[in-house]
Amino acid sequence: MRGVNKVILIGNLGRDPDVQFLEGNIAVAKFSLATTETFKDRAGKLISQTEWHTVVLWRGLAELAQKYLHKGSLVYIEGRLRTRSWEDKEGNKKFATEVVGDNLVMLDKRMDVNNGDHPVSHHHTTGPATTPTGAPHHGEGYAGLDIPPMSEPADDLPF
């Protein structure tokens, strides 16, 4: 390793992840992530600025994304920049810079603590078009899953 190429993002998914399976059953997930920063401009006025990133996850992380992430999810992504270039059908050179994620932390609050009900109501379904069908995003919550999102700790802190 002779250089460093590291990206750290915390933001919300703009859409449900798009997950595909390549040959060999290798999962690839792709989604847009919005990071919003607020700062003061030169005049001292508070400015809020949103930047959209394309995030790509592979294999196990892609499967996690498929299982647990959806539009609006808040995530921490650690990864690296990768710029791809190609020519479109008109022969124009195109570039796309993506963040290839090496690490993913789900920051949404665990919706159901101890009595996990109404998971659906937390999914912030945003319209009639949202996965009314087989997509197993709803009706389960994180209960019983191996890698639940972070949540407030129980009262067993050593202090």
Partner DNA sequence: TTTT
Chain positions contacting DNA, by CB under 7 A: 2, 11-15, 32, 34, 36, 48, 50, 52, 71-72, 74, 109-110, 113, 123-124, 126, 137-138, 141-143, 148, 150-155, 159
**26 versus 136: smaller Cβ distance to DNA:** 136
CA angle in degrees (0–180, nearest 5) for 131-73-128: 25
Q: Which does 141 bind (CB under 5 to 8 A by kind): DNA, a second copy, none?
A: DNA
Three-state secondary structure along 33-63? Answer: EEEEEEEECCCCCEEEEEEEEEEEEEHHHHH
Return the closest-CA partner of residue 104 out of 54, 69, 138: 69
**78 versus 138: smaller Cβ distance to DNA:** 138
State how beta strands 26-40 and 74-87 pair. Answer: unpaired
Site mask for a second copy (CB under 8 A), range 47-66, x = bound: xxx-xxx-------------
